[in-house]
Amino acid sequence: MISLEDINKIAKLARIEMSEDEKAKMQKDLGEILGYMDELNSAPIDDLPEETYKLKNVFRPDVDPYQSAQFTEDILAEAPRQEKGYFKVKKVLG
């Protein structure tokens, strides 16, 4: 089971304030999640075929990429506002 001290550390790292009730609920929920992970780790996998659990790359090979700037004009044409080849947006930071 995860300790209340661990919950306090997590809250501090996440920079969030939690009430005592929220901490207790988080302690219970994380304890259940970690318990389930332990259960999964102890599951037998000896009888499973290797392709069931073997890691493999699921991304496509990066072949025949588009030419640089091939679609720039089309994309900019859809923008509500543009300036000098860039999207023009409202200033977010002061």
d(CA 94, CA 92): 7
Domain membership flag for residue 65: yes
The structural domain count of the chain equals 2
Query: Which pLDDT score, from 0 to 100, does residue 70 have?
Result: 87
Residues of the domain holding 71: 50-87
d(CA 78, CA 46): 54
27 lies in the same domain as 55? no
56 lies in the same domain as 83? yes
Query: Which pLDDT score, from 0 to 100, does residue 59 have?
Result: 85
9 lies in the same domain as 35? yes
Residue 54: left (phi > 0), alpha (psi -120 to 50), or beta? Answer: beta
Q: Which phi and psi (to 5°) does residue 26 adopt?
A: -65, -40
Residues of the chain with pLDDT below 50 are none
**Domain of 20: which CATH number?**
1.10.20
- What does each C-alpha distance from 58 to 52, 54, 55 come to in angstroms? 14, 12, 9
66 lies in the same domain as 37? no
54 lies in the same domain as 77? yes
Domain membership flag for residue 57: yes
55 lies in the same domain as 73? yes
